[in-house]
Chains A and B, each alone.
Chain A
Amino acid sequence: MHLLAAAAAPTFEVSHWTFDWVGLIPAIMAASFLITLFFGKRMGKHVHVVGVAAVSASFVLALITAGAWINATNSHEEDHSDDAAAITEFAGGETIDGVDEIAFVEAGEEGKEVEARPQAVVNSWCWFDSSDAPNSEVDCSDRAAEKPISIGTLVDGQSVLLLVVVTFISLLVHVFSTDYVGGDRRYTHYFAFLSLFTSSMLFFVLSASTLQMLVGWELVGVCSFALIGHWWEDKPNSDAALKAFLTNRVGDVGLLIGVTVLFFAAGNSFDIRTINHAAVVGDIGSGTLTVAALCLMAAVMSKSGQFVLHTWLPDAMAGPTPVSALIHAATMVVAGVYMIGRLYPVFWEGLAIPGSSINAMALVGGITVVGGGLLAFVQDDIKKVLAYSTVSQLGYMVLALGVGAWTAGMFHLFTHAIFKACLFLGAGALSHACHHSFDMKKEMGGLRKLMPKTFATFMVATGALIGIFPLAGFWSKDEILVGTSGNGDYKIPLAMALIGAALTAAYMTRVIMLTFFGEYRGHDTPHDPGPRMMIPLQILAVLAIVVGFLNIPKSFPVIGESIGLTLEHWIEPGGGDVFPVIDHGKASFAMAIIATLIGAFAIFLTYSYYAKLFAKNPRATEVTGGLRDNNKFARGFHTLLVEKYYLDHFYQGVIADGTKGWLARGTYWVNQNIIDNVINYAGKGAVVSGGFIYRFIDQGAIDGTVNGAGQTALGSGSVLRRIQSGRIRQYATLMFGAATVLAAVFIVAV
């Protein structure tokens, strides 16, 4: 692999009290969960205070941690600017201005930056004493040794980024929820699980070992299940919850196997850095690594909604909308992407297709981008459109990681969390105003004038999602496209990414047109929600504008040179022996312009389609007598999309029913022929032996014994009842007498 040949970025150690105490943040949320659960009923409708207070505290702590981390990444350069400059010259790059010493070798394959990176800060405690395990000489008392089964926190750029994102979105969702689900019959339950989810997600994000990741992974799955099925009285909701849980179990099995394989492959260690190190330096055989990576990829595909295991994610929209925003758009579903980033060497080396420069992850991501995007067109439920959009965007992240653009993937994860949370909360605000319906065709339309503030935030977030310059999504998507075009031989994934960009633009324009333009198709007059829902939306909309600037290319005129690639500088891990060196494409205007033109063209097409439609009839939602009705191929494709590629039919009809069918027939045969015969013969034998036993043993021996025992008891009773005089003194006399006799026997015998 060319990664191994790359120059290792030098690392330096950093420390700050927050890096050691960061475990407090999930602990606070866990405490909030317990308090809400046990004392929530007494607090009544004020129960959200606990959750909001806890998540605010967590957010503040996360910000302090992030500040400390940013300081740490910068601190080194001031001390060692000479060294950095020396390294820069060695690499032949150009030093930019002394603001920070990032150096790029501008050209092609060999392009590696050698900026010094802070080392990840790991604090771990012994979880199990595994000293009995074979080949292990480690026990809990040996603090200095590397502990195979430990629990702890790993703080680096990636975990700090997620720490901030999760606590921030969670805070906004908590606030939004106080209005949105106010007066709900399970208000306490709702906030308890929001807290538990936040805690579990942070626990997962901060994991220092794969075993701990597994625990966090399962915990977020459980919370997702409980919150999707929050209104379980309606059958579709509990079905959706079950579907999400069961689909995720498919991946969880993969995760369990993958973690186990990696444990043994990395020399009895769950430690993430040890595993990464082993994968980077080649201690793990390529076959083993491929098996482990494939198993883990199954987990990623189920949790992060990659094609073919994405089917649960749109159904998960049955849960309350703030939950969809927090769990099924911004945080939980990126757990898979996060895991790829965490165990990047494993995925990168394990999924590389031999004999080519293509990584299988890029193909999975590319297919998901297009497949998810197409499905978004046939949904009338605004949340389902957004859900398929999430699937598609998660595809972008996996694609980015697949082509080696680690930073681009993480950057897109970050921006996507912001604008997708804004879109989902916006959809919640719309539904809140439109009789709790999410049907764009029946209950919405023309909301631009009725809900102007919501419209503004929704438009900004949509722009960010489509990737309109200069909103957040533009920068992150551009970075992914650049990475795809620059690294390796990724023509097909690049084409898919560009098609995905067009699809995104088109289906989001469709949403905007159906929801905000035309004429209102519901009844009553919807209006903007109250401040507890509006303010989170506005905050997210503002961020959707600005966060993209955190990682704009250096080559961007005027502003790029001073603040360019800030996020990359903050979050990228260092150390060639625990992480592969990340490839960076060279930012190109051509790519940005092509993507923007494609998006603009898609927007134009969709807009003109609806503009024409609304000109004829402002209440119309689709053209009649159009392509779909006249063209057989188009109709077939439409049906394929409506039926979601028949994947659900396949899972239910072929896999579940198929298994059920022969399994049932086989079981029936075994039942009829084997078990029944055994039982019949056993029965006949029992009848014969029963007759014998009745005549001889029961009537003769047992009855005789029983009668005899009865007679004996009667006789002895009539004799012995005389002692039972009821007089205590007589009892005492007998007792002392007996004790005396026993004492005498004792003395004589001993």
Chain B
Amino acid sequence: MFLNQFLLFAAVLFCIGVYGVLTRKNGVLVLMSIELILNAVNINLVAFGAFNGTVNGQVFALFVIAVAAAEVGVGLAIVLLIYRNRRSIDVSEANLLQG
């Protein structure tokens, strides 16, 4: 069992996700990047689960997928509302929370 490969792959995926979240202006792409981060976590969970010979990791991964689906639902709704108000989904323009 080559745990390292999976962990490295997950780390790469995580970094790509973080990069996407930080640099992309398009709200939808930000959401997609978040999905990448979550899937990197899923890979870690499944890999460790398989490594330890239990199904716990897979169960956790299933829960994460379910939660991610809900989170995307909320996220897309927010993006849609931003679009309606501003005719754009550029997240860098949404700074109403400024202190």
Residues on A close to B: CB < 8 A?
721, 723-729, 732-733, 736
Contact = CB atoms under 8 A, between A and B. Distances in A.
Contact of A725 (B22, B30, B95): B95
B28 interface: no
Contacts of A729: 21-23, 91-92
Interface in B1-44: 18, 21-23, 30
A728 B31 CA distance: 12
Contacts of B23: 729
Interface string B88-99: 000110111111
A724 B22 contact: no
Contacts of B98: 724-727
B22 A733 contact: yes
B90 to A, nearest CB: 10
Contact of A724 (B30, B91, B92, B99): B99
7 contacts: A724-B98, A725-B98, A725-B99, A727-B94, A732-B22, A733-B22, A736-B18
B interface, size bucket: 10 to 19
B35 to A, nearest CB: 15
B22 A728 contact: no
Nearest to B19: A736
Contacts of B22: 729, 732-733, 736
Contacts of B99: 721, 723-726
A729 B21 CA distance: 7
Given A723-B99, A728-B91, A732-B22, 6 more contacts: A725-B98, A726-B96, A726-B97, A727-B95, A727-B98, A729-B92
A728 B94 contact: yes
Contacts of A725: 95, 98-99
Q: Which of B22, B23, B91, B94 lies at the interface centre, i.e. has the most chain A CB atoms within 10 A of its CB?
A: B22
Nearest to B25: A729
B11 to A, nearest CB: 12
Interface of B: 18, 21-23, 30, 91-92, 94-99
Contacts of B96: 726
A724 B30 CA distance: 20
Contacts of A727: 92, 94-95, 98
B80 to A, nearest CB: 16
A746 to B, nearest CB: 15
Contacts of B30: 728
Nearest to A727: B95
Nearest to B98: A726
A92 to B, nearest CB: 86
Contacts of B95: 725-727
Contacts of B91: 728-729
Nearest to B37: A736
A736 B18 CA distance: 8
A732 B97 contact: no
A723 B91 CA distance: 17
B83 to A, nearest CB: 15
Contacts of B21: 729, 732, 736
A724 B97 contact: yes
A724 B98 CA distance: 5
A40 B6 CA distance: 67
Contacts of A733: 22
A732 B96 CA distance: 16
Nearest to B97: A726
A726 B94 CA distance: 7
A721 B98 CA distance: 8
Complex A-B, nearest 9 residue pairs according to Cβ-Cβ distance, in ascending order: A724-B99, A726-B98, A726-B95, A726-B97, A721-B99, A727-B95, A732-B21, A728-B91, A733-B22
B98 to A, nearest CB: 3
A617 B64 CA distance: 99
A736 B22 CA distance: 9
Contacts of B92: 727, 729
A733 B19 CA distance: 9
A728 B79 CA distance: 13
A733 B95 CA distance: 15
B23 to A, nearest CB: 8
A65 to B, nearest CB: 57
A610 B38 CA distance: 102
B91 to A, nearest CB: 5
A727 B22 CA distance: 11
Contacts of A721: 99
Q: Which of B91, B94, B98, B99 lies at the interface centre, i.e. has the most chain A CB atoms within 10 A of its CB?
A: B99
Nearest to A728: B91
A383 to B, nearest CB: 69
A736 B23 CA distance: 13
B94 to A, nearest CB: 7
A493 to B, nearest CB: 82
A352 B60 CA distance: 77
Contacts of A728: 30, 91, 94
A723 B97 CA distance: 11
A723 B30 CA distance: 21
Contacts of A723: 99
Contacts of A724: 97-99
A733 B23 CA distance: 9
A733 B99 CA distance: 17
A732 B31 CA distance: 13
A733 B30 CA distance: 13
Nearest to B23: A729
A723 B95 CA distance: 12
Nearest to B93: A727
Nearest to A721: B99
A732 to B, nearest CB: 5
A453 to B, nearest CB: 76
A233 to B, nearest CB: 56
A698 B22 CA distance: 50
A545 B61 CA distance: 83
A268 to B, nearest CB: 51
Nearest to A737: B22
A230 B91 CA distance: 69
A724 B21 CA distance: 18
A18 B86 CA distance: 78
Nearest to A739: B18
Nearest to B18: A736
Contacts of A726: 94-99
Nearest to B27: A728
A580 B92 CA distance: 96
A720 to B, nearest CB: 8
A721 B92 CA distance: 18
Contacts of B18: 736
A34 B92 CA distance: 62
A36 B18 CA distance: 64
B28 to A, nearest CB: 14
B68 to A, nearest CB: 17
B40 to A, nearest CB: 13
A590 to B, nearest CB: 93
A331 B5 CA distance: 85
A226 B95 CA distance: 66
A722 to B, nearest CB: 8
A747 to B, nearest CB: 13
Nearest to B24: A729
